[in-house]
Amino acid sequence: MSTAPSYRWWTRVGILLMAGVTVFSFVRAGQKMWGGGMVSRAAPASITATNAVIGADGIQRVTLGFGRLNYNPAAIRVRRGIPVALTADRTVGGCFSSFVIPELNVWKQFSETDRTITFTPNRSGTFRFTCAMGMGDGRLIVEES
């Protein structure tokens, strides 16, 4: 009795399963990075947005950290047309150091010496922010002034 046909069959099944998992992983990563698929584009109701504090210089300031495998806070509320200074604290590292808000053309690679990005949101709405790999994400809620 030969076991060769059974061995070949299981090898093919294993290869097909590995290929399927690989394709699924790439599709999900792309969906998460670009805001599609199962990722909600609206701020979840269970998340309380942190309001940026407007300093004496008129700049909205907020500190971004890392906790529970994601950015913290997960939702930030700012006003349209007023500059925002977002500072990453020392807990933000790895791929989370590469911060993007694709819809607002905002991108920053935080470093040990430069941990602040300044931008002015010129549109109202809810915008997704993420690391460059799309693994961590949050929402920037821009409201009218």
Domain that holds residue 138: 50-143
DSSP string, the chain: ---HHHHHHHHHHHHHHHHHHHHHHHHHHHHHHHT-TT--SSPPTTSPPEEPEE-TTS-EEEEEEEETTEEESSEEEEETTS-EEEEE-TT--GGGGEEEEGGGTEEEE--SS--EEEE---S-EEEEEEETTSSSEEEEEEE--
pTM of this prediction exceeds 0.85: no
> Would 103 be classed as within a structural domain?
yes
The answer on pLDDT for 36 being more than 90 is no
> Would 44 be classed as within a structural domain?
no
**Same structural domain, 26 and 72:** no
**Same structural domain, 98 and 124:** yes
What's the CA angle centered on 40, arms 38 and 46, to 5 degrees? 120
The answer on pLDDT for 38 being more than 50 is no
For the stretch 5-21, pLDDT in tens is 788 888 998 899 999 88
Give me the number of domains the chain comprises. Answer: 2
Q: What is the CATH number of the domain that holds 54?
A: 2.60.40.420
**Same structural domain, 68 and 130:** yes
> Would 66 be classed as within a structural domain?
yes
The answer on pLDDT for 34 being more than 50 is yes
**Same structural domain, 76 and 24:** no
**Same structural domain, 78 and 138:** yes
Position of tokens 């407007």?
54
Percent of all residues in the chain with a pLDDT value above 70, rounded to a whole number: 83
> Would 20 be classed as within a structural domain?
yes
For the stretch 67-118, pLDDT in tens is 888 999 999 999 999 999 999 999 999 999 999 999 999 999 999 999 999 9
Single-letter residue type at 131: C
**Same structural domain, 118 and 60:** yes
Percent of all residues in the chain with a pLDDT value above 90, rounded to a whole number: 60
At 32, the pLDDT band (50, 70, 90 cuts) reads low
**Same structural domain, 74 and 114:** yes
What is the distance between the alpha carbons of residues 81 and 58, in angstroms, rounded to a whole number?
11
Position of tokens 């584009």?
41
In this structure, how many other beta carbons lie within 10 angstroms of the beta carbon of residue 71? 24
**Confidence (pLDDT) at 41:** 45
